[in-house]
Chains A and B, each alone.
Chain A
């Protein structure tokens, strides 16, 4: 018996020792967050991650164009995917619809989360050169402002998240005026520390075009002020680019150079999203995540792309209203739209095809790669000019008109018209004179002709108050029957994803929804 007990005890001693140390397992695969944000290169890669948000499908890779271009009277959708099309014509039933709403909302805040990570962590990192640190922080502020800008345009009253997220966050919804104020604050702070150019120069060893410079900041400041009708402040901001220290821009002679990969980051570019085609992954966070735009795959005509979005035909007629100095069609029509007479008018086929679509249909051409291929795919490398000097000039004209300086505004419209061989505004439309309203009416058309399909129409309509009265909406509905569904006081901003409303006591659904 004793022997048994001894043997047993010996065994127990041998085996019943804890393996508790074995339970401390760290992932051999990834760096943890608390190990990160230590070095300059951490900060650099961190701020770069904000740029990577342009490649996500909720934002500038894909779906945001449905919100900005297709919801406006420039575009529409006849996608067989009914719900997708419904979200371009104010038929919002399921507010959680991912592609139509939630993904853009989520990716907006995903981008803001990245900005907030940089803003919270980079100040604690020691840099050799303090200016480099300031530049990184300033970029994060610029992008936080940029993403809040589009969110304010799309949803208006939204939660302002200014710190890195945690799973339990229940952020407070703010009035759109407070959102604008935060955007102005971020932009004004960013302006101080950003350089005036990132292109290769005496001070820049390498070309990093695509990062925001002081001009880009002023452009977004101007956009922000204009949406609030703060015309004087907008004028000051725009003057930085036109006459002030940042006046280095000029219109490129070839209008189409704004929409191909041939002459990117050119003299007209104010802020340009950089796309590439080196990586063939998806729009997620995979190892080979793409750096491309899907826009043309979704907007190309049926049989070439998915054709989930196309252009309203009234645009074709609008271009044809006025001939150029030589009595020919406005060349911008050629580079803006695919339409039935494109071949007859300009000798261009559509992606090397004869017109095989209906006679009242048109598609967006800007950004298409038909100059070297017959189809599109998910990997377009063509940069997207989010703000270009043509837009800035027309904005300046608008601001001057609003401030009562209509006569001074003409020259800026004329610069835009001259590039495409159009007569001066005074010659072409002598009836306007110095009438504010007539000038604004004409400017609205000038903006369509110059900027159609460049994601500015929705904010333009809002700024002009054209979505605020039934009479104005009725007028739009003549061009775009989708606006028959438009309810004044409700549809000027989208519903907030219902899941966030239901689970955040600090967030209410936009009224009317």
Chain B
């Protein structure tokens, strides 16, 4: 029954498209107008938009700035182009119109895509940021998100240099506890900005930050929305763009000991513990970093073809992106194609955007970033006496459970591959100049393949023998989106009203089968395993299907009075399959208003060119949880053994608890903003203050262990989270003759607070962090150190008020810990809040200059005030467990008492505990994220070559970092929301040097 209904629905949509094709009434008397669009300096403006006012019909100028358009003689043409002020010219039956556009530093007329429509930037009432596509494209990045770091206020991006690694984006703080990534909308398709997407295809990016801006996307927009439109063809002859970029990537390194220095301290640690020294292999001096890290290589080749005629346009592109990693056995390859096209006839227009990509990743095995310091220099890379032939720890010689990263890369290999088709087809019917119906069908499917091969061989001490194992899965994900919107837009005198109503339905499905076999034979011919699941024994198979559906109704009113008073209201009603019947539906309203003070008749200032005040309030819902969380299931995977025949019997029980009454999480956000332009708009300021409060946060805090719950914490409408923040962007640009210059500074300050944990809970501890009501999420919660004991007397004198010696087992050189609760002993009850992982503020600085054909730009980012946990030091400085050590350390000895490094001992002492503030550091840094030079070959050189544009670029990323942090990279990422400040072997950002060429034909 269900499937029939879906079928019918789907069919109905096709029917609709068909109907819309039939409905094409004839139009008024048309004339053809030709002309040229130029700038004030007389240069032709290519690709300027030429639009018939009050319609969506239009064209674009070709490379010479010429255009040709059909319109009625009584209509008005609207000319616009990025960076110029829009001009309107009535046709008055002229057939030739030449236009000169004035430059506009403020770019107020920029068109902003706001979801189910566009607005002019000057009319915005919510917090929306625009990012120029070339700002992202000039960096060498794997995903769109990587390219956004430092460019937009309130948008925090954290990534890393692992091939295929996807960066995390957090817009305006941590608003829920599940996932911070925003919603991506690519050409109207709700999707993710993952590594399958080619950033070279981007035409424009807008970031919707506050509730009123994002409200139209309702339940999925609580983390903000990143709207991406891809490039479209423009009228004119075929245009070819080709670019190639090659980059080198360099891994940062730890400063670790060689064998000689290592032996000195390792022996001392054993001596101090009263243990027999290890029989260290002094003949070996392995530099594990040399063996594991290498120079990475990125290649990015892109070609696009675009063009169009009067009534149709097309854009095609192909891209190859390859990244050979900086760590052995890592690689990422992506091939992608795109075709975007559109056509118009009369009141009907239709278009599609389609991208096909295949991405293949040779994933990192284990974590070599950690392995290189857990392996001591006395361990050889290879050791034929070990199963598999790789070197690793040995009892009494090199006592460590560190894993050999080369062995892991060889014996434990994961390859992921995704073949993805993503696109949409839309059609529009313009019943009248003021009424438009649009149908959009979005479709995305991905065929995913996962292959794991475990070869026989060991990588660590005492490892139990494993047989060869092949584990593979094949999965398919599918998203279908149906959207119907009706837009009414009309001016009545000074009143400009736009009304949008719509309905959408989205269905997601994920379908996976997996299989495993053991004891795969080796092909004696080539020595390779038969890794196809045909071979081997002990088969395991399984699979599951996840489905979700979301139905929504939406409405929006935009009202503009005389370009002075702006008003915007949105209402969205969402229903999700993820909630129980009584809680399925939620209503999410928002309102916003703007006042363009500078357009008021009373406002007369030559100095202040532009002044706009904005305010908004909105509610967004989120249902960002698993598909069937409100239900309880019986797990019948288990079996048991009984009797002497070891017969297997079935077993089944509820393992995971659930809350049946889950409801929508609600984000309530208030935004107050100001836009300000002075000095002929050369200096612009945008400031925003916001309060975002999320109630009924859907999250599975750990419940009591006495419930016996396992398999994940049951999701509950648990906590309330609040983020208050301030964002400021100051930009200056100036052009003096042939020299132009621009600079902008952005500043973001966010205060996060967990208002309540819900469920009657008091606090949640995760690793070394605590989340307690009234405080930011994930504060450091550790034992506090208080210097070193210099002698026995100090130990004896370290007493409680009633005379109890607090650390009687301490030895001179040990760390003195604070007995916070005063009970005369050091235990986990002495842990206390010892710092915040949240920065006090973050900043970005962007600057650029152009002179003749040369251009230069750079981007700095800075973060101040975060306390971070150095996972690297917590391993190498502890000494109770063998690892390599930091070169040049000066541990406490009776001869060397003036140090903060405690005595070293290969034994159990409080010194070595990871849950102390010993490993907390300042996470402050300033980084040159990007610096680049470009040179455009002058037209005189290119004149007869057939090449219309040629450009060389030289750029570098992450090459200067100013920090006191002692780990690899202060700009690290940790996916655990509660342990965001824990650098647990995070893959660092890489120094990247790129050389690129671009040609246009």
Q: List A residues at the B interface (Cβ < 8 Å).
A: 4, 7-8, 11-12, 14-16, 18-36, 41-42, 44-46, 48-52, 55, 80-82, 85-86, 89, 91-96, 102, 105-107, 109-114, 117, 159, 161, 164-171, 198, 206-211, 264-265, 274-276, 278-281, 284-289, 291, 297, 302-307, 375-378, 381, 497-500, 502-504, 507, 513
Contact: A52 with B639, CB < 8 Å? yes
Kindly supply a per-residue 1/0 record for chain B positions 245-260, scoring 1 wherever the CB is within 8 Å of any chain A CB and 0 otherwise.
0000000000000000
The verdict on B828 contacting chain A, using a C-beta distance below 8 Å, is: yes
Instruction: Using CB atoms, name the residue of chain A closest to B396.
Output: A302
Instruction: Using CB atoms, name the residue of chain B closest to A11.
Output: B437
Nearest CB of chain B from residue A449's CB, rounded to whole Å? 28
Residues in A neighbouring B544, C-beta threshold 8 A: 28-29
Partner of B880, one of A16, A55, A82: A82
Residues in A neighbouring B641, C-beta threshold 8 A: 210, 274-276, 278, 291
The verdict on B653 contacting chain A, using a C-beta distance below 8 Å, is: yes
Contact: B649 with A48, CB < 8 Å? yes
**Bound-state Cα–Cα, A305 to B395, Å:** 12
Q: Which 9 A-B pairs have the closest CB atoms?
A: A113-B708, A49-B653, A276-B641, A110-B708, A207-B643, A109-B708, A165-B707, A30-B633, A45-B652
Contact: B704 with A19, CB < 8 Å? no
Contact: B551 with A23, CB < 8 Å? yes
In the complex, besides A170-B760, A284-B710, 7 extra interface pairs with C-beta distance below 8 angstroms are A23-B549, A36-B652, A51-B640, A113-B707, A207-B643, A280-B518, A297-B464
Nearest CB of chain A from residue B487's CB, rounded to whole Å? 11
Known: A106-B708, A166-B707, A376-B464. A207 touches B644 (CB 8 A): yes
Residues in B neighbouring A12, C-beta threshold 8 A: 486
Kindly supply a per-residue 1/0 record for chain B positions 636-650, scoring 1 wherever the CB is within 8 Å of any chain A CB and 0 otherwise.
111111111111111
Residues in A neighbouring B395, C-beta threshold 8 A: 302-303
Residues in B neighbouring A25, C-beta threshold 8 A: 547-549, 577, 627-628
Residues in A neighbouring B759, C-beta threshold 8 A: 167-168
Residues in A neighbouring B538, C-beta threshold 8 A: 280
Contact: B704 with A264, CB < 8 Å? no
Contact: B462 with A303, CB < 8 Å? yes
Instruction: Using CB atoms, name the residue of chain B closest to A111.
Output: B708
Instruction: Using CB atoms, name the residue of chain B closest to A171.
Output: B706
Residues in B neighbouring A504, C-beta threshold 8 A: 704, 706
Partner of A15, one of B503, B542, B545, B649: B503
Instruction: Using CB atoms, name the residue of chain B closest to A97.
Output: B828
Residues in B neighbouring A166, C-beta threshold 8 A: 657, 707
Contact: B658 with A167, CB < 8 Å? yes
Residues in B neighbouring A11, C-beta threshold 8 A: 16, 437, 484, 486
Partner of A285, one of B632, B711, B882: B711
Contact: A274 with B716, CB < 8 Å? no
Partner of B636, one of A16, A45, A94, A96: A45
Contact: A170 with B704, CB < 8 Å? yes
Contact: B708 with A112, CB < 8 Å? yes
The verdict on B635 contacting chain A, using a C-beta distance below 8 Å, is: yes
Residues in B neighbouring A499, C-beta threshold 8 A: 702, 705, 765
Partner of A46, one of B637, B653, B710: B653
Nearest CB of chain B from residue A366's CB, rounded to whole Å? 19
Known: A8-B435, A377-B464. A210 touches B642 (CB 8 A): yes
The verdict on B584 contacting chain A, using a C-beta distance below 8 Å, is: yes
How many B residues have CB within 8 A of the partner chain? 105
Residues in A neighbouring B627, C-beta threshold 8 A: 25, 27
Show 29 residue pairs from A and B whose CB-CB distance is below 8 angstroms, ordered by the A residue.
A11-B16, A22-B9, A24-B577, A25-B548, A25-B628, A32-B633, A34-B632, A36-B652, A49-B652, A80-B400, A80-B881, A82-B881, A113-B654, A161-B707, A168-B759, A169-B703, A207-B642, A210-B641, A274-B641, A274-B643, A276-B646, A285-B655, A287-B542, A291-B648, A306-B462, A307-B462, A377-B466, A498-B828, A513-B829
Kindly supply a per-residue 1/0 record for chain B positions 897-913, scoring 1 wherever the CB is within 8 Å of any chain A CB and 0 otherwise.
00000000000101011
Residues in B neighbouring A503, C-beta threshold 8 A: 704, 760-763
The verdict on B465 contacting chain A, using a C-beta distance below 8 Å, is: yes
Nearest CB of chain B from residue A2's CB, rounded to whole Å? 12
Contact: B650 with A45, CB < 8 Å? yes
Contact: B827 with A93, CB < 8 Å? yes
Known: A30-B633, A109-B705. A80 touches B882 (CB 8 A): yes
Instruction: Using CB atoms, name the residue of chain B closest to A48.
Output: B651
- Which one of B634, B641, B762 has the greatest number of beta carbons of chain A within 10 Å? B641
Nearest CB of chain B from residue A136's CB, rounded to whole Å? 13
**Bound-state Cα–Cα, A171 to B632, Å:** 21
Nearest CB of chain A from residue B274's CB, rounded to whole Å? 12
Residues in A neighbouring B702, C-beta threshold 8 A: 499
**Bound-state Cα–Cα, A44 to B650, Å:** 8
- Which one of A11, A102, A291 has the greatest number of beta carbons of chain B within 10 Å? A11
Contact: B703 with A28, CB < 8 Å? no
Nearest CB of chain B from residue A96's CB, rounded to whole Å? 7
Kindly supply a per-residue 1/0 record for chain B positions 454-466, scoring 1 wherever the CB is within 8 Å of any chain A CB and 0 otherwise.
0000000110111
**Bound-state Cα–Cα, A170 to B633, Å:** 22
Contact: B707 with A274, CB < 8 Å? no
The verdict on B854 contacting chain A, using a C-beta distance below 8 Å, is: no
- Which one of B16, B639, B913 has the greatest number of beta carbons of chain A within 10 Å? B639
Nearest CB of chain A from residue B707's CB, rounded to whole Å? 4
Contact: B638 with A289, CB < 8 Å? yes
Chain A facing B: main interface SS: loop
Contact: A95 with B651, CB < 8 Å? no
**Bound-state Cα–Cα, A513 to B716, Å:** 31
Nearest CB of chain B from residue A121's CB, rounded to whole Å? 10
Partner of B703, one of A82, A167, A297, A378: A167
Residues in B neighbouring A498, C-beta threshold 8 A: 765, 828-829
Contact: B762 with A207, CB < 8 Å? no
Instruction: Using CB atoms, name the residue of chain B closest to A109.
Output: B708
**Bound-state Cα–Cα, A168 to B628, Å:** 19
Contact: A502 with B652, CB < 8 Å? no
Known: A82-B880, A110-B710, A497-B705. A7 touches B545 (CB 8 A): no
**Bound-state Cα–Cα, A321 to B844, Å:** 77
Contact: B545 with A29, CB < 8 Å? yes
- Which one of A16, A93, A211, A304 has the greatest number of beta carbons of chain B within 10 Å? A93
Nearest CB of chain A from residue B500's CB, rounded to whole Å? 13
Contact: B653 with A117, CB < 8 Å? yes
- Which one of A34, A81, A94 has the greatest number of beta carbons of chain B within 10 Å? A94
Partner of B706, one of A15, A109, A291: A109
Contact: A52 with B703, CB < 8 Å? no
Known: A8-B431, A381-B646. A36 touches B634 (CB 8 A): yes
Residues in A neighbouring B704, C-beta threshold 8 A: 169-171, 500, 503-504
**Bound-state Cα–Cα, A31 to B641, Å:** 23
Known: A29-B545, A32-B631, A51-B651. A22 touches B6 (CB 8 A): yes
Known: A15-B484, A80-B400. A165 touches B709 (CB 8 A): yes
Nearest CB of chain B from residue A264's CB, rounded to whole Å? 6
Residues in A neighbouring B645, C-beta threshold 8 A: 207
Partner of A304, one of B9, B462, B638: B462
Residues in B neighbouring A44, C-beta threshold 8 A: 649-650
The verdict on B576 contacting chain A, using a C-beta distance below 8 Å, is: yes
**Bound-state Cα–Cα, A146 to B644, Å:** 23
Nearest CB of chain B from residue A497's CB, rounded to whole Å? 6
Nearest CB of chain B from residue A120's CB, rounded to whole Å? 11
**Bound-state Cα–Cα, A315 to B437, Å:** 87
Nearest CB of chain B from residue A12's CB, rounded to whole Å? 7
**Bound-state Cα–Cα, A391 to B747, Å:** 73
Nearest CB of chain A from residue B718's CB, rounded to whole Å? 10
Contact: A377 with B465, CB < 8 Å? yes
Known: A91-B908, A166-B657. A52 touches B913 (CB 8 A): no
Nearest CB of chain A from residue B276's CB, rounded to whole Å? 8
Residues in A neighbouring B283, C-beta threshold 8 A: none
Contact: A278 with B648, CB < 8 Å? yes
**Bound-state Cα–Cα, A186 to B826, Å:** 40
Nearest CB of chain A from residue B14's CB, rounded to whole Å? 12
**Bound-state Cα–Cα, A206 to B639, Å:** 17
